[in-house]
Amino acid sequence: MTDFSVGLVKNNGSYDLEVNIDRLPSFSYEGVAEIRLTVWADNKPRRIYYLGTTDNIEDLGDSDFPDVEKGRTKIVKGKMNVVKQDGSKEILGYTKEFPIQKFTFEDDDEGGEDETTVSLVKVDYDRAGELENLPFKMVITEDEQEYPLLLLHMDFIEVELKQKIAIGGGIAQTLIVTQAVREVLEFLIIDNPGNVNEPEMSEGWQQLWLLWAKKVSNRDFPEGADSAELHDWIEDVISVFSRKKSLIRKMKDDLRSL
């Protein structure tokens, strides 16, 4: 059972790693062991970052990750190991490979710099116990800098649902993610006057979501329409998103494996 997050933060044209660890990979060992994070871009050599020991998790000393190449890098992945300190390098515990960030490259309307995909929501467990018996909920505020939060019940730590949502596919992930998209878009364009045709009129995460919805949708945004028409447009966005991500096929595959 593991609970951690690893991300890339753009810093003056380069990228820094951002790591938060709440729970380490499970292992059986009475001594103190090292925590090592391995990160790599596409097929480039792997870089190892020291995160302290099992009794003293430390911040990254050098968080720079220099292997993202503009226009070339497609994905950055990672893996965490708990390793003996006795020089044997024996691995005591580990995580599976996980995606840190995927990149797409598209020229903007003015021929500017390439863009990278960014996470449109934050995901975390309900550490305060607010959900009670709810499996999950979306927390959305009008603060443009406070990204929508997908809050998961703490019991899901045992099955590493947070990490599985990042990877995508699966029954639970698909149902949760499509509902999250629905609630955010309803907040933006039904509860508030967000305009997909003029995303520049919004700021922060709201602008990013409106740009994303405009890109995904296969029909024009019904500006000035009533709530029923807006709901139909949102469902169309979710339908196109589901098709592009092959969500139904992935759910069927997951069901067959049960």
Tens digits of residue pLDDT in 98-140: 888 877 543 233 333 333 334 688 888 998 999 999 999 999 9
Of 65, 22, 14, which Cα lies nearest the Cα of 157? 22
Query: Tokens at residue 36, please?
Result: 């090592």
pLDDT, average across residues 165-181: 84
Class of domain 3-102: mainly beta
Of 176, 189, 173, which Cα lies nearest the Cα of 231? 189
pLDDT, average across residues 150-169: 84
- For the chain, give every residue range classified as CATH 2.60.40: 3-102
% of the chain at pLDDT higher than 70: 91
User: Model confidence over 208-251: pLDDT tens digits?
Assistant: 899 999 989 988 999 888 999 999 999 999 999 999 888 898 88
Cβ 59 vs Cβ 49: under 8 Å: no
Rg of the chain taking only CA atoms, in angstroms:
20
pLDDT, average across residues 46-66: 87
Please report, for residues 11, 37, 108, 116, 201, the alpha-carbon distance to residue 111 in angstroms, rounded to integers and kept in the order given: 21, 36, 5, 15, 21
Interhelix angle for 204-216 vs 227-244, to 10°?
70
Place of tokens 């039904």: 190
Residue 39: beta bridge partners?
Answer: 47, 78
